[in-house]
Each structure stands twice: as C-alpha cells, then as structure tokens.
Homo-oligomer: A and B are copies of this chain.
Amino acid sequence: MEFKLLKKDPNCSARLGVVSTARGDIQTPIFMPVATHGAMKPLTPAQIKETGSQIILSNTYHLHLQPGEGLVKKAGGLHKFMAWDKPILTDSGGFQVFSLPNKRITEDGVFFKHELTGAEIYLDPATATRIQQDLGADIIMAFDECIPYPCDRSYAEKSTKKTIRWLKECQNAMTDNGQALFGIVQGSVYEDLREMCAKEMRKLDLPGYAIGGVSVGEGLELLKKIVGFTTPHLPEDKPRYLMGVGLPEDILESVERGIDMFDCVIPTRYARSATLFTRRGRIRVTNKNYKRDFFPIDPSCNCYTCQNFTRAYLHHLFVSNEVLSAVLSAIHNVHFYLAMMAEIRYAIGEGRYPEYKAKFLAEYQRG
C-alpha cells in the first residue's frame, strides 16, 4: 500500500491524495461506508459500487462472532465471501469490545461474553491482528483501547500508553502478505497525550494512522479541537483516518484539518429511519409534508433513487413498511456522502476548499 499526497490546499490543511492498493486506488479524502457483518445492510455490491464507493469497512468483532474468521478464510477471504473486489478496511474490534457492558480489561487484552452464546471470548492485539489477516483485509486496524468520553487524565494517560504498547504487539504479529496496519492515536481530549501518542506511533513507520476515541459523545467543537491539535503530529506522507465520523458537517470540518479517510454507519442507519440527506439539509420523508411531494429526494442528485422515484413514493414505502424503503434510502444517502467527497476532492484540487466548505454549509444549514 502506498500513499501519494497530490496537493495541499493553500488556505487550510485539507489534502488531496491517493492510496494505492493491490485492489485499486482510493482517492482521498474518502468516505468508507460500513458493512458490519460483511453486508452493507440492504445493498448488493453492485449497488454499493454505483454509489461511488471505493473502499468499505467491515467489523472484526462481528465477523469473529459470526461466521468466524476461519470460515471466511476458507471461503477465500472476505472479498470473495461478500463479492466485493475493491479494498476493505477492517476495524480491530476495539471500539465494539470497549462499548460492551460486561468486559474485563487486563494489561494484555479484553475478556467479554459472546452476545448470543454467553461464552467467554478473549481479544488481544495479536489475536485481533491475526483475525484481520485471516479475513483478508487490505487495511488492518490496530487493537486499541477506545477511551470513553469524558475520561480523567490519569486513566487516559495509562490507557494511551497501553494502546501504544499494544500497537507494537500488533506490528509484531503481522506476517507479510501485502496487508497494511494502521495505528490508532488515542489520548482523549488531552493535547499532550495525543501528541505523545502520535509521536510514539510515528516511530513505528506504519503505512497509515488513525485518530480514535472520537465520535464517543464529545460533540463537534471538541472533535474539531482534537483533530486540530493531533494532525500536525502525524506524518504528512501517510493517510490519516478519523474513525467513526460522521455527519456531513463533521467531515467537512475534519477535511479542513487534514483528515483523509472517514467511516460511519450514519448514511445507512439514517436511511432505515427515513432520514435522508439533501443539499438543503436532512429531511424525514415520513413527515406528512412529503405525502404528495412529487419531487426527488434531492433534485440535484443523480443517484438511482433520485433519478427514478419521488418523495411521495418513498413516503408511501415507509408508511407501508416495505423494505424497499431502506434500499432506496440507503442508495441515496451513501451516494450523497460519496458525491460530497468527490466535490471535496475537486475543491481541494482547485485550491479553494474553505470556499467550498462555506458554500456547502450555508446551503445545507439554511434548508
């Protein structure tokens, strides 16, 4: 895996780049839709490609529990299993495991209960790395402790140091088969901890770095701060991935601060609850105003849904509990995100990212 930094916006830290993998190039900044169980909710791989997706994210935690990485490996790897031939990034399970109510964290790893069978399961850096290698991910995320928010400084410091140590264990566990390991910078809201973590992790010369421990309830203002004081300590020549972010406004602000990669369940999750993204803000298509609205969800959108269906039809599908509602809404929402990312890249290429961001947000927030 290689990263090429193509251009930096002259007026902010936004970057245009390309991540080259054996399964194709990824234009950055990019958004990665989430296929938790190796399925992007209602969308087929053919539909996912039509949204403009270049890379998707899947979950170590979920796939380890069901169907198990052994089966996926036997199936020929996750790409073949789910029929997705472009790059896949897998998270390490850190975020999921640390969100569980009953877990036991040691210095070496985490014990937790299988959500269905109740069996005790253990994950540690070497295991999480091995699972991701078995899945065949193009990008493997380090097993880290995702620090909750808020968190006192002393716990954050202790946890961050453990995450650094665990990263080294992940790196040691990696066998060479063309997969790329990304480190995850933790440190909660503490600038010096983020700096220390980033500096320690840079020493390992990894192919990419993520910022974790965000999207845990800290809000946009703190997110902007964390990203703002962390990215300057990350290497310029490696991709930077902000984990679990987020809403369009979160992405726009973070791109300005030098982030290259994003993932979030929002487009598909919101789709299921009838919340659709438009250039003029979000709409809830179950609202009775849309019952007789014969315009597309977003008249400026060229996705399959907007090219063929009206708000009235989507409204009807949701009211009728037809699962096609989630399909058409997911197509639109994921396409909306990917189209926004393409515009972001274009604006950076033109050297006018702050102007683009301001214009987008003005229209988006007016609606």
CB pair B324–A44 under 8 Å, yes or no, is yes
Nearest to A83 among chain B residues (CB) is B308
Contact A81 B310 (CB under 8 A): yes
Contact A71 B292, beta carbon cutoff 8 Å: yes
- Is the CB–CB distance between B46 and A316 below 8 Å? no
Residue A326 is within 8 A (CB to CB) of chain B in the complex: yes
Does A41 count as interface, using CB distance less than 8 angstroms?
A: yes
A346 within 8 A of B: no
Does A93 sit at the interface, judged by CB under 8 A? no
Chain B residues whose CB sits within 8 angstroms of the CB of A44 once the complex forms: 47, 304, 324, 327-328
Q: Does A43 contact B (CB under 8 A)?
A: yes
Given contacts A42-B42, A310-B81, A313-B81, contact A37 B320 (CB under 8 A): yes
- Residues of A in contact (CB 8 Å), total 41
Give the shortest distance, in Å, between A36 (CB) and chain B (any CB).
8
Contact of A71 among B71, B82, B304, B312 (CB under 8 A): B312
Is A291 an interface position by the 8 A CB rule? yes
Given A304-B44, A320-B37, A322-B37, CB of A310 within 8 Å of CB of B71: no
Complexed CA–CA distance, A75 and B315 (Å):
13
* With known contacts A81-B310, A310-B81, A323-B323, A294–B74 Cβ distance under 8 A: yes
Max chain B C-beta neighbours (<10 A), residue from A40, A45, A71, A76: A71
Q: Are A66 and B324 in contact (CB under 8 A)?
A: no
Near B by CB (< 8 A), chain A positions 20-48 give 37-47
Q: Does A18 contact B (CB under 8 A)?
A: no
Shortest CB–CB separation between residue A38 and chain B, in angstroms?
7
A247 interface residue, CB < 8 Å from B? no
A75 / chain B contacts, CB cutoff of 8 Å:
294, 310, 312-313
In the complex, how many angstroms separate the beta carbon of A278 from the nearest chain B beta carbon?
19
Q: Are B322 and A82 in contact (CB under 8 A)?
A: no
Q: Is A67 an interface residue (CB 8 A)?
A: yes
- Residues of B contacting A39 in the complex (Cβ-Cβ under 8 angstroms): 317, 320, 322, 324
Closest CB in chain B relative to A303 CB, distance in Å: 12
Residue A309 at the chain B interface, CB threshold 8 Å: yes
Distance of A163 Cα from B327 Cα, bound (Å): 40
Contact of A100 with B by CB under 8 A = no
Of A40, A45, A316, A320, chain B has the most CB atoms within 10 Å of the CB of: A316
Identity of the chain B residue whose Cβ is nearest the Cβ of A321 in the assembled complex: B37
A134 to chain B, nearest CB (A): 15
Q: Which residues of B contact A40 (CB under 8 A)?
A: 324
Residues of B within 8 A of A308 (CB): 45, 83
Which residues of B lie under 8 Å from residue A62 when comparing CB positions? 320
How far does the alpha carbon of A312 sit from the alpha carbon of B82 in the complex, in Å? Answer: 10
Inter-chain contact A67/B37, CB cutoff 8 Å = no
Once the chains are docked, how many angstroms separate the CA of A291 from the CA of B71?
9
The 15 sampled A-B contact pairs (Cβ below 8 Å) are A37-B322, A38-B313, A38-B316, A39-B324, A41-B322, A41-B323, A42-B323, A42-B324, A43-B324, A67-B315, A67-B319, A81-B312, A81-B313, A81-B316, A323-B323
**Contact residues of A with B, CB < 8 Å?**
37-47, 62, 66-67, 71, 74-76, 81-83, 291-292, 294, 304, 308-310, 312-313, 315-317, 319-320, 322-324, 326-328
